[in-house]
Every structure is written in C-alpha cells, then in structure tokens.
Structure 1
Amino acid sequence: MINWKEERNLSLLADFYEFTMANGYLKEKVHEHITYFDLYFRSVPDKGGFAIFAGLEQFVKYIENLHFEEDDIEYFKSKDIFSDEFIDYLKNFKFECDVWAMEEGTVVFPNEPLLIVRGPAIQAQMIETMALILINHQTLIATKTNRIVKSADGRAVMEFGSRRAQGADAATIGARAAYIGGVVGSANAYADKLYGVPALGTMAHSWVMMFENEYEAFRAYAETFPDDTTLLVDTYDTLKSGIPNAIKVFDEVLKPMGKRPVGIRLDSGDIAYLSKKARKMLDEAGYEDCKIVASSALDEFKIKDMLDQGAKVDSFGVGERLITSMSHPVFGGVYKLVATEEDGNISPKIKISENVEKITTPGFKQVYRFYDNDDNKAIADLVCLHEEEITDDEIEIFHPVHTWKRKTLTNFHAKKLLVPIFENGKLVYNLPSLEDIKKNKEREVNTLWEEVQRFEFPHIYIVDLSQKLWEMKNEMINKTKIF
C-alpha cells in the first residue's frame, strides 16, 4: 500500500497570506501565543439534511509530513519580503499543535466544529488551506455519494467519474470519499492501488467498434473473460442489435463452457424503457440471472425517477455528477479563530458580521450527540464549552436564535464527537481502515430519522448551544454594539 504522505511534500500548498502573517507573528513576537481554530461549515450541499465527514486520514498524513525543504526555503528567499528570522524558523519547523476531530464517516451538521486546532499561532494558521482542501473536498463527495446510494434503494452503485474530475487528485481521493459514501467500487485503478477501493469495469464502446461487427466484439470479450462477462449493448442499436448479439454470445460461447453471463450495460437512451425491454428479452432467453447495469449522466434524482418508472436495473455506474458533485460543487467549510490562551487562561474570540450566519461561535468547544435509549436514534447535537461535562440525565436544550423553542431530553445517552488526534504534534489516534470508516458511515446514517434523510425539504436536525456557550456568545455580541 502506497502511503499518501510519501507522494509529495505539500507544505507549501497554502494561501500566501498564511506565510506573510506567520512572518508578521514572528516580528511582533506573538508567534508562540496559543490559539484555537475551528473548522466547520454553514450549510449542507443540495439543501440536504446532513453531511458525511471525510478526509481526516489525508489531513493526518499531511501533518506528519509537514516540513520545509531546501527548495521551499529558496522560494521564500526569492520573494524578498520574508525576514531571516522567518527563514530560520521554517528550516527548523516542528509541528506542535493539538488537534481534535470527528471520526471519518460521522454524520455532521452546520455550525458545529468538525476539527479543532490548538497551538502556536504561526503553526495553527499555516495549516488552514490544506485542512480545508482535504476535508471540504472529501466531505462533499462522500455526502453526494450517500444521496446517490440512497436513491438506488439497495442496488449497487459504482463510481465512474475519473475522466470528468477536476484533476488527478480529485479523481483519486474523490474515489476514496465515494467509497466512504457507499459505492461498492470505482473505475479508478489508482484508487484501488492507493486506498483499496475495489476497481471495477469491463469495456467501452471503442472495444465494440474495434472489431468487424458487434457480435465478434462480444464473442472476443466473452472468450477473454468467461467468468466476468458484462457486455455494453448500446453502441449501435440496443434492442435490435446489442441485446440479440449478447444473447447469441451467451448461447454460443458461455453456455458450452458451463458459464453464466454477469450482465449487460446500458449507457444511453431511455434507460427505464430499455431496461424493461432488455429484462424481458434476457428472461425469455433463459438468462434471468443476467444483471442490467445502467450508466449515462446519472444522479440521485435520475435514479429515483428511473426506479419510480419501473426500470429493471440492478446496479448503477455514476460518473460526473458524483465525482464533481455537479449540482452543488462546493462544500463551504471555513477555518476560524475562536480563542487565544495565555498562562492557561482561555480568552474567547468572535467575528461579528452584518451577515448573521457569518458570526462565529467563540471558545474552546466540544460536541455531544444525544441518542434515544429505546431505538438509538440521534435526537440532537449540543455544542458546548470543552470543560462542560454532559451526563446521561435530564437536560433542557434550546434553539440558539429562537430561544423560546425548548425541549427537555430524558431517556438518552450522550457521546462526545470530537476525539484527540494529535497531542503536542504527536499522533495519538489510530487511523481506522477504509472498510471500518465505511461501516461507521453506515451505522451513523442509520441513527438518523428518515425525515432527516429526505432529499427535498428534510427535517432540520437540532444543533444547539449549551447555556454557558450561548450566554458567552451573546455577551460578546452585545458588547460590540455595532448595529
């Protein structure tokens, strides 16, 4: 297995202001001041009810490999704006921050921290861009994939989008995120080699066109892969040519060998209509076990409509609309300063904005999730100060804006969602396997009510602030008196 951190040193992949600020912190002698940053997001893509957290493993690998090489040092020197002190600092750079994060596969909601970084200002600021790149992208793709997989209603979904992804990294790490989100595999062979995402695929239209006729193309493929024969039947005419030729090859090549076909694939046309016709033709020929795979610019809405129309499709290959999250291609995670610390005393910080949703929640925090003891369904999340301990007793929660909306919770158990990842720069978290992350995602989604999982107008899951945190935030807002 190739280790992601050995591929490239990405320490220089940062917004330039992170380095100019770092240089300034050194000049002003505040670089060692302890800071707290939250990474969170403000809204769910596609107006969905929740997101799937992903990308933590790659963030860990990035941190483990965070250093500046000689050519990086020469780059900074060439800009003629960085001090010798800053250059020396980079030469001897050592990551010494604490990091807490939710575990990959966790269902997450707006305005709760997914990741917290505590450490020297110069270091905590410097990792902002890569933290957002890695977590925004994979969380976006895992979230979109979960929607698509749900729409398939138990049928397998394969990720087919590499050629339409925005670059090699997006294709490969995106395939990893899609696997977390629920696909059974990917067309991307590199993702299989790198992460163990099962590689899947058979033929393209070019295979069919390479031979004298469609029958010869199908015959050659069946003879080459008799145990895994899936034929693409829409190159010329699906019903008049493709399926009849496929059946002929099944009869003349596979049957004498004692083999059964795996399936056929439809990649164009009215797939709902064609699949019903194809199913009838295959069944009448004695191939009731031959599966029908559909592809062709699919997403969760097309798949749902197709199945509502009675399509006889057993699995789906989904490409560009998954790997790019085409309907909502941006996950709006942000990385904000929320506190500083001096001599063990934490001072909360807040960003005020006329755009209310951009007002930050100050302080060093923890997130609790409450589960009903009877059915283990998630009831609500509570964002609180890190030192607050929530017990499994009665608790009143309330809407942080519409405070008259209150609810008393009983018969529940609580779970801390943010777990330690790094302590003083040392990794203290055992990275789970990709399979375990995927299983965690499945368990997490199963704790949500179906109403929260709706594609359109989902029930809004409760994310509230504790009384102490709410009071602190509002006191800081009121003190500004800028409105």
Structure 2
Amino acid sequence: MRYSPLITDLYELTMLAGYVDEGMADTPAVFDLFFRHNPFNGGYAIFAGLAPALSYLENLSFTSEELSYLNSLGLFKATFLEYLEEFRFRGKVTAVPEGTAVFGNEPLLTVEGTLAEAQFVETALLNIINFQTLVATKAARICHAAGNGTVIEFGLRRAQGPDGGLSAARAAAVGGIRSTSNVLAGMIHKLPVKGTHAHSWIMAFPDELTAFRKYAEVFPDSTILLVDTYDTLKSGIPNAITVAGELAERGHRLVGIRLDSGDLAYLSKEARRMFDAAGFPEVRIVASNELDEFVIDSIRDEGGRVDIYGVGTRLVTCDGDGGGALGGVYKLVRSGDRPRLKVTSDTAKATLPDRKRLLRALAPDGSFIQDVITLDSESIVPGDTVFDPANPLQYKTIPVTAQLIDLRDVVMSDGKAVLGPSDNLNVLADRTADQLQKLPQGTLRFMNPHRYKISISKGLLDLRQQLVKAIQEGSTHG
C-alpha cells in the first residue's frame, strides 16, 4: 500500500524547503519516536505499526500530480519542487519488534539520515505508529479481560473512516484479536473473517423462527443466530433451539447464538443452561454491544458464560480513560556532530539526548525486571547502578543474576527494509501474548497497575545534565 508523501503537516514541507535554502538539508540528524505516558492509565503499551511505517519510508516519493498540487499553493520555489522530484528516504531505522511491551519515554523507533529526510517523515510515522500502538494496546487489554474466551474485531462501522478501519483491524491482531468482521482487512492482512446477521434479517421475514430457518438453510455449517430482536429468553433462544434440532436432523449443527443487548452476564448464563438442557452443549455464545475490557471483566466476574466477544466501537476508537490518542512524539536527539536536548521548565523531564540503546533486564526465568536506556557507546552490565530519569536521586542496582538484552534492531538500512517476516500477524500476536506473561505481577491490572521500572544509565544521566547546564548558561550548543 502506498502512502502519499502529502500525508504530512504543512510545516514539514516548509521546514524542508527552509533546510534546502539554508544549505542544511544534508546535515546528519537523529530523531527518536516515543510516548510519555502509558495509554488507558495502564501499566504498558504494545508497540505496533512498524511494518506499515517501513513500507511508507521505502516507497516515499512524489508523483507529478502531487508536485503540481504543491506548486498550486504558491508557497514553494521551483528549485524546491525540482528537489522534491528526486527526494527519497535513504536513512536508517532502529526499532523494537511489533508486539513488544513498551513503556513511557523509551525510544521505540530511531531514524537516522539527513536532516531533510529524517525531519520530513515525522508526521506520517507518528500517524501510523501512534494509532496502531494505541489499538494494539487496547486489544491486548481486552484479550486479557476475556481470559480463555475468543475475541473478534467488529469495529468497522464505528471506525474513523475506511483507513482507520483497516489499520484498527491490523493493530487489533497484533494485540491478540486474530479475526475481524472487516472483509477488506481479511483480504489485505490475511485475517479470518467472522460474522452473523443483523436484526434487519429477522425483521425482513414474517416471524423470527422463519428468519432463523432461512438463514440456517443458506449457511447450514456456519449459522450463528442473533436472538435478541424480540425477546431473548421467551422467543430468541427457544427458536434457536428449534433450529439447532432441525440442523442436527440434517447432519449439521448450530454454531452459536449472539446476544447484543440486555444483561449479558445473566442472559449468557440462562442461554447456556437452556442449550445444555436441550442437548446442545456445543452451541457457543457470542456477546456484543459496546464491550471493552471493563465490561468483559464484569461479565466474567458475575459468572457469565460467554465464549466469544465481538468488540467494536470501544476498540477501534480506543475509548476509555487515558485513551483517545497515544501522544507519541518525535524529537531531534542529534544533529551534525552534537547531541541535542529539549528542555522544559522541569529539567527532570528533559528529553534524552543522542543515540541510545534500549535494554531489558531479564530474571533467570525469563521474566522482565526493568528496562534501561543507555548511550549507544556505553557499556553496562548486571550489577551497575541506574537512575530514575525523572528523579536522579532515586537509583537502583541491576541484579547481578539478570541478563541484559537489546530490545531494538536495525530494521531499515539505506532506505531499504531489512526486517524479516514482520507482517505475519499471528507471529506478532504470539509475541504480544508471550510478552504479557513475562511482565511483573500487577502490571496487567486495569486499576492502579504496577509501575514498571524504566531507568537511565550513568553516562546518559551525565550527558543530559551537562547539556541542561550548558543551555541554562546561555550556550547555543544544546
């Protein structure tokens, strides 16, 4: 899929034109992409969107139609538009794998190249990765709430446009929701497509039982009946039981029923009781209707008997406290031969300068202890002291029994992706599930989760303090 280079903010183009005019376009530059706070007031995020981001970078070029449009704006010189004709991304990208559990202020993706190319791609990278990471995180939370239950993505009709629907289906799969109602997403992303029928199918026939029978005649081996059009317990389920018996007589079976309204915990328990009593324990119960991790958790806590959860609106729109947007940012950390730093009024919240490594300390059993951000050139080993980036007076020692691993790899070199089969969504979903199992106890809690520890090395701490001091003293070299 080609992403137009015009998927950008105007200021990326005006800055690019300015760099070209000032002779700065070829200055070496390094940018970090990160977010500051875990979404949904949760304990983690799931990184997603890398493969689409690399596809954008690899295919970045301007068509004659796009250049003609830019010319029509009356903002840019002819020499700049000629420059754009040959403009490509030829840089390097280092990133964590999709499906990795990540946390606030960690450099998830680093872009190295010329100032022109590394700056220009900011908006598109944030657009792709912010949304997909947010959806993948929401999906992982929903799958955790569902336990052994299956979750299907049902959100296309409530997504933010067709592009949002496709991206949400992909990101949800990274987070663990491995099937979708979105047929185009099924084709593009190789996802199983699932679905039932709407209330309008029932209402189009003289009565509910006729509607059920006709649907079962058309799809005898994949029938799931929506049972709440009129009265779930007095009409819908009894009629579904009748059709289940008729299918069995013809050598088929009713796959399931769907509950789309009412008290889903109570109705699912009653549905399970009724189907079991009728001799159909294999019939599965699907629930939908404004589900999210909190509603699903409540259904299970109340003893609900739901087998499959169809999750739509609150997944694809990332509804919930701390949701809505990830808040990822893209900051310059080195230009030319100098590390760069953005300082706020709170110097403890200053960005982390220069090229860096992102390490994870593993316990002997493979579980995660903490993450450590270091300078790229710095050596760090178990037993070393590391520091809280927001409060350097707080520090801790990496356990001597820990193993330190690099979380990031080079995924693009000279503008060409060097990543393996990253877009196999089942592989990515498996990685997400494995990562969540290895987080410290309490990290997956929905309320007041455990705060996973992120530290910085002594070398990175010292460099940041030096740059802050230089800026405070009026230096222009920060």
TM-score (normalised: structure 2): 0.95
CA offset digits 1:338-360 (Å, max 9, x no partner)? 1113xxxx311111112557521
CA offset digits 1:304-325 (Å, max 9, x no partner)? 1111111111111111001111
CA-based RMSD of the aligned residues comes to 1.5
1 CA distance for matches of 2:419 and 2:392?
A: 38
2 CA distance for matches of 1:408 and 1:127?
A: 36
1:425 aligns with 2:419: no
Task: Identify which of 278, 281, 294 aligns with 1:301.
Answer: 294
> Does the Cα contact within 8 Å between 2:153 and 2:310 map onto a contact in 1?
yes
The DSSP-based 3-state class of the residue aligned with 1:301 is: helix
Q: Please list, as runs of the form range in 1=range in 2, the aligned pairs for 1:108-127 lying within 5 A after superposition.
A: 108-127=102-121
Task: Identify which of 225, 234, 239 aligns with 2:219.
Answer: 225
2 CA distance for matches of 1:482 and 1:248?
A: 82
Task: Identify which of 92, 97, 119 aligns with 1:98.
Answer: 92
Stretch deviating more after TM superposition (156-165 or 445-454): 445-454
Equivalent residue number for residue 406 of structure 1: 396
Q: CA deviation at 1:163?
A: 0.3
Equivalent residue number for residue 268 of structure 1: 261
Aligned amino acid, residue 325 of structure 2: V
2 CA distance for matches of 1:184 and 1:122?
A: 38
Q: Please list, as runs of the form range in 1=range in 2, the aligned pairs for 1:39-54 lying within 5 A after superposition.
A: 39-54=33-48
Aligned amino acid, residue 251 of structure 2: G
Paired residues in the alignment total 470
CA offset digits 1:402-448 (Å, max 9, x no partner)? 42332341112111112112222222222422221111112211211
1:197 aligns with 2:191: yes
Equivalent residue number for residue 334 of structure 2: 339
Equivalent residue number for residue 313 of structure 1: 306
Q: Please list, as runs of the form range in 1=range in 2, the aligned pairs for 1:33-432 lying within 5 A after superposition.
A: 33-251=27-245, 253-327=246-320, 328-341=323-336, 346-354=337-345, 359-373=350-364, 375-391=365-381, 393-400=382-389, 401-432=391-422
Q: CA deviation at 1:266?
A: 0.4
Stretch deviating more after TM superposition (471-480 or 131-140): 471-480
Equivalent residue number for residue 19 of structure 1: 13
* Unpaired stretches in structure 2, ≥5 consecutive residues: none
> Does the Cα contact within 8 Å between 2:385 and 2:458 map onto a contact in 1?
no
Task: Identify which of 456, 460, 473 aligns with 2:464.
Answer: 473
1 CA distance for matches of 2:473 and 2:217?
A: 76
1 CA distance for matches of 2:363 and 2:304?
A: 38
Q: CA deviation at 1:334?
A: 0.3
Q: CA deviation at 1:397?
A: 2.2
TM-score (normalised: structure 1): 0.94
Stretch deviating more after TM superposition (240-249 or 88-97): 88-97
2 CA distance for matches of 1:63 and 1:194?
A: 19
The DSSP-based 3-state class of the residue aligned with 1:206 is: helix
1 CA distance for matches of 2:96 and 2:190?
A: 23
Task: Identify which of 448, 451, 455 aligns with 1:464.
Answer: 455
Moved >6 Å (runs of 4+): none
Aligned amino acid, residue 164 of structure 2: A
The DSSP-based 3-state class of the residue aligned with 1:74 is: helix
The DSSP-based 3-state class of the residue aligned with 1:254 is: helix
Aligned amino acid, residue 373 of structure 2: V
Q: CA deviation at 1:111?
A: 0.3
The DSSP-based 3-state class of the residue aligned with 1:339 is: strand
2 CA distance for matches of 1:431 and 1:126?
A: 27
